[in-house]
């Protein structure tokens, strides 16, 4: 997609640059397939059903444009016993402790391991959403795989470490489901952000100052309501998980960037556009050109600053001094600031969804700038300029009829990637700008947006976390953190 434009908006290279994504991002199932290299791990023990499924999967992946590499050809000649990087490794059936695929992988951050497992998905045995999630994660960590495929007599089910559960029929739609559901999960894997991804400013964030106090209060006041919604599934601790050995636990800990575990969903509070931290140097001036509602415009790329929860904290009971971070997109780089006096023992890591959070924030800032130019006095621009905005994400969906007036819904037709991926960040960015374009062309008032991530969840922008929680309670009482299906949110 190098050099091409996003539909009606701006060049893909410009979007990647200003979002600090650093590298080209495949956005369609076809592009994702063409960039995949897959190898099948030697089978130790597997039923005939699993062997037949694996053979069908191999053939279907190749037909979709995936480069399927023989296992011997996937080995790194420079490192005996180790696989090359940038591979998807698919293992079928029972695995041997001491000879798991991960024993042959050089880097889990550049390799995705898939396990094909006999029987029904264990999440189907549970009724509570939290326990469904815990069962999935326990299965994945036991064999150190990022994706598990469960094979029944009449269906197969894709599960991922971000809690997705996608049942598919074995007959009739297999090729389509591999192309449209599995390949995006393999091409856009969940990879935790690493400290090297950021410009880290430790101990510089003053949460008690007048600039931050209103945003901090919003987190604290909205927490009890978010707990009541039941949408923010809680922490799956590393200590709750079972590993085959201490060695495998160390591998998993390193892959997770030594986080204490995994939690699902996020809350974020975008700071008003007038804010600029005193400790941040002035970024170089960046200009981006785009076409929207038939007009070609050149804009200064704004900064975007977001107060957000650290990875793994209890989002319903925020302790600001421990649980909040400030993240920013400034001058094409990501800045991360931690609070003053933060206990050194606190596991203060940014959300898995950092790229998507900042992408929404930068898109909000650009939308406000465009509205100031094209629709002076627009409410969304006034809100961003004076009090900022809020963003909430949960793994689930919205019931029909819950879309507020003036909101645009986007993303339903995108490939099903999780919001921790670069693809999700670009979908969020372009979807919000596309929503603004729709509002401008229809002379509507742009009030906000709902970004639907198929088979994953939703991101909702609003005036504050408290108002979003109240809206969820009022309009979405039957919204469930249901990761087994992707019910479509209603569009206007």
pLDDT in tens, 96-116: 999 999 999 998 889 999 999
The second-level CATH assignment, the architecture, of 25-187 is: 3-Layer(aba) Sandwich (3.40)
Confidence of residue 74 (pLDDT cuts 50, 70, 90): very high
**pLDDT tens digits for range 115-161:** 999 999 988 876 666 677 777 888 888 899 999 999 999 899 999 87
Residue 345 confidence class, pLDDT cut points 50, 70, 90: low
38-48 pLDDT tens trace: 999 999 999 99
Q: What is the pLDDT of residue 482?
A: 40
* Lowest-confidence region among 200-214, 281-295, 468-482: 468-482
**pLDDT value at residue 34:** 97
Rounded CA-CA distance 460/452 in Å is: 9
Q: What is the mean pLDDT of residues 80-92?
A: 97
pLDDT at position 344 over 90: no
CATH number, domain 195-475, options 3.90.660, 3.40.50, 1.10.8, 3.40.225: 3.40.225
pLDDT band at 484 (very low <50, low <70, confident <90, very high): very low
Rounded CA-CA distance 5/300 in Å is 19
pLDDT in tens, 224-234: 999 998 888 66
Is pLDDT larger for residue 262 or for residue 304? 304
The rounded distance, in Å, linking the Cα atoms of 389 and 464 is 6
Tell which phi-psi region holds residue 172, choosing left (phi > 0), alpha (psi between -120 and 50) or beta: left
Give the residue carrying structure tokens 């479509």. Answer: 488
Residue 483 pLDDT more than 50? no
Residues 251 and 266: beta-carbon distance below 8 Å: no
**Residue scoring higher pLDDT (72 or 237):** 72
Query: Is the pLDDT assigned to residue 400 strictly greater than 50?
Result: yes
pTM comes to 0.90
Find the mean pLDDT for residues 190-201: 83
Per-domain residue ranges of the chain: 25-187, 195-475
């Amino acid at each position: 997609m190098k050099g091409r434009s996003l539909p009606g908006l701006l060049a893909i290279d410009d979007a990647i640059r200003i979002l600090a994504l650093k590298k080209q991002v495949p956005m369609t199932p076809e592009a994702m397939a063409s960039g995949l290299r897959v190898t099948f791990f030697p089978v130790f023990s597997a039923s005939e059903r699993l062997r037949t499924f694996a053979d069908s999967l191999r053939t279907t992946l190749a037909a979709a444009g995936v480069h399927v590499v023989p296992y011997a050809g996937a080995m790194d000649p420079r490192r005996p016993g180790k696989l090359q990087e940038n591979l998807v490794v698919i293992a079928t059936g029972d695995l041997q402790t001491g000879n798991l695929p991960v024993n042959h992988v050089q880097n889990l951050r550049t390799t995705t391991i898939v396990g094909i497992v006999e029987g029904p998905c264990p999440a189907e045995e549970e009724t509570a959403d939290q326990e469904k999630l815990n069962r999935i994660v326990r299965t994945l960590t036991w064999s150190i795989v990022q994706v598990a495929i469960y094979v029944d007599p009449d269906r197969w089910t894709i599960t991922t470490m971000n809690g997705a559960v996608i049942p598919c029929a074995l007959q009739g739609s297999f090729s389509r489901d591999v192309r449209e559901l599995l390949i995006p999960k393999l091409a856009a894997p969940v990879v935790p952000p690493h400290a090297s991804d950021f410009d880290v400013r430790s101990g510089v964030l003053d949460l008690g100052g007048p600039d931050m106090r209103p945003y901090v209060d919003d987190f604290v006041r909205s927490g009890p309501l978010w707990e009541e919604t039941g949408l923010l599934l809680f922490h799956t601790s590393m200590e709750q998980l079972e590993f085959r050995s201490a060695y495998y636990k160390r591998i998993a800990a390193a892959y997770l960037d030594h986080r204490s575990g995994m939690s699902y969903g996020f809350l974020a509070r975008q700071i008003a556009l007038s804010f600029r931290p005193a400790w941040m140097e002035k970024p170089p001036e960046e200009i981006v050109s785009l076409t929207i509602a038939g007009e070609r415009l050149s804009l200064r790329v704004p900064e975007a600053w977001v107060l957000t929860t650290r990875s793994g904290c209890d989002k319903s009971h925020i302790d600001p001094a421990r649980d909040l971070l400030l993240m920013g997109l400034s001058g094409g780089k990501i800045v991360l600031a931690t609070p003053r006096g933060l206990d050194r023992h606190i596991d203060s890591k940014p959300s898995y969804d950092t790229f998507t959070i900042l992408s929404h924030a930068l898109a909000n800032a650009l939308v406000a700038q465009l509205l100031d130019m094209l629709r002076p006095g627009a409410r969304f621009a006034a809100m961003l300029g004076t009090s900022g905005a809020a963003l909430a994400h949960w793994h689930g969906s919205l019931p029909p009829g819950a879309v507020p007036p003036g909101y645009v819904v986007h993303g339903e037709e995108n490939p099903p990637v999780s919001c921790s991926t670069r693809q999700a960040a670009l979908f969020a960015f372009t979807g919000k700008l596309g929503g603004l374009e729709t509002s401008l062309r229809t002379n509507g008032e742009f009030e906000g947006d709902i970004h639907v991530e198929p088979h994953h969840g939703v991101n909702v922008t609003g005036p504050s976390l408290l108002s979003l929680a109240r809206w969820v309670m009022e309009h979405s009482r039957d919204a469930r953190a249901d990761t087994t299906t992707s019910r479509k949110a209603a569009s206007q």
